Structure 1
């Protein structure tokens, strides 16, 4: 349509195991729905998969701070929050060792990439992360994920079949997402990349929006 505001493209690098990604995803989805920006989800595997020894080497205070910080941020933003049941990563919390087999995170990340292929990645990640981090018990069982897919405008039977049958190709795409994140100048999630500029963290959403407004972001 003549005179219509151009749609600005951006990429959101996201992990289903990252509570900070969860705290960001709904606000980015709302921004994409209300303003002239198309935010493409770029799922990545979490550090527990990419660098399994990270938690064994991290400062012991790190986890304790995270468990204090995330609930208060969720409360501040009015976002439901609960400890995942189960954790998307199979991990011994006493030794912090990551298990070799990781059925939950691989399944949900592949589902997210399959949803991204269909242009519904942002919506699916928001709905699914709400199950994982919003307090739903056994989010991986029953019809929880099917309901999340439906709320995102997707057919779950089709989505899950692709995540299972095209797993290798999806993993190649997920690895490419990680490389694109690093190429943009960061390594962590959530990171929004707009015109090559990375905005890392759930506390950079307003700064990312400010930059987009400089480039013509408008209300739809």
Structure 2
């Protein structure tokens, strides 16, 4: 995979452990369906400690932390911001107790794309909500395999895939992202453009539907996105 190129009309980068990716899943899947297109969904596994420090909680209390006061404020604001929108979708968003290695669950995206693309949306909708309710150990390959099965995707061979071929694909893609100018999720890539954040979905819709009329303003609300003419 080339980080900026695809045969699909749109590349979508997401990470299971990102609250902003969680907020974006439903409206992005709805856009894909409404346009009758097939987007190229890919994992971007965030290295959160590299820019926000690390921390671990136990029974709601911080027991380990390398974060500064300003980093904690950024984290708290990010959760408050994302929670407002995800609750509108009928979901729950709880802050994580630690910084997860989400690579196995993200490799699940590659597995779904390559083995049962029609069920990819089901996988995303099955893995994100329980993770953010603190119900999933996404570092356990058997848990991720069970989620694939729950989404209707045969997981036979997934354990080996996430160690070998899938891991190699994942790691090779991650090495390309920062040099290509892709740093966070959700990121939308099309025709050489890189847009970070769900608020760009109105523009994505406008662009993918022929750029009729003036380009829409940036908007974060689902209703605003749906109001844009196709």
Relative distance call for 1:33 and 1:210 in structure 2 (3 A) is same
| 1:186-211 superposed Cα distances (whole Å, 9 cap, x missing partner) | 42110111222222112222221122
Q: Cα offset for 1:80?
A: 0.4
Query: How far apart, in 2, do the equivalents of 1:86 and 1:165 lie?
Result: 29
| 1:21-47 superposed Cα distances (whole Å, 9 cap, x missing partner) | 011112212222232322111101113
User: Where in structure 2 are there 5+ consecutive unaligned residues?
Assistant: 1-6, 54-66, 213-228
Relative distance call for 1:79 and 1:24 in structure 2 (3 A) is farther
**1:67 and 2:66 aligned:** no
SS at match of 1:60: helix
Query: How far apart, in 2, do the equivalents of 1:53 and 1:209 lie?
Result: 31
User: Where in structure 1 are there 5+ consecutive unaligned residues?
Assistant: 1-6, 91-103
Query: How far apart, in 2, do the equivalents of 1:191 and 1:60 lie?
Result: 24
Q: Which moved more, 1:192-201 or 1:158-167?
A: 158-167
Q: Cα offset for 1:155?
A: 0.8
Relative distance call for 1:8 and 1:106 in structure 2 (3 A) is closer
Residues 8, 40 of structure 2: 8 Å contact kept: no
The 5-angstrom pairing of residues 49-198 of structure 1 reads: 52-55=50-53, 56=67, 59-76=71-88, 78-83=89-94, 87=98, 89-90=99-100, 104-118=101-115, 119=117, 121-133=120-132, 135=133, 137-140=135-138, 145-146=144-145, 148-166=147-165, 168-175=167-174, 178-179=177-178, 182-183=179-180, 185-198=181-194
TM-score norm. by structure 2 comes to 0.68
Q: Cα offset for 1:8?
A: 5.7
SS at match of 2:94: coil
Relative distance call for 1:86 and 1:115 in structure 2 (3 A) is farther
Relative distance call for 1:8 and 1:145 in structure 2 (3 A) is closer
In the alignment, what sits opposite 2:24?
24
Moved beyond 6 Å, runs of 4+ = none
In the alignment, what sits opposite 1:15?
15
In the alignment, what sits opposite 1:204?
200
Relative distance call for 1:147 and 1:171 in structure 2 (3 A) is closer
In the alignment, what sits opposite 1:93?
none
Q: Cα offset for 1:145?
A: 3.6
Query: How far apart, in 1, do the equivalents of 2:41 and 2:131 lie?
Result: 17
Q: Cα offset for 1:123?
A: 4.1
Task: State the aligned residue count.
Answer: 191
SS at match of 1:112: helix
Relative distance call for 1:137 and 1:208 in structure 2 (3 A) is same
* Higher relative contact order (Cα pairs below 8 Å, separated by 6+ residues): 1
The CA RMSD measured in Å over matched residues stands at 3.2
TM-score norm. by structure 1 comes to 0.70
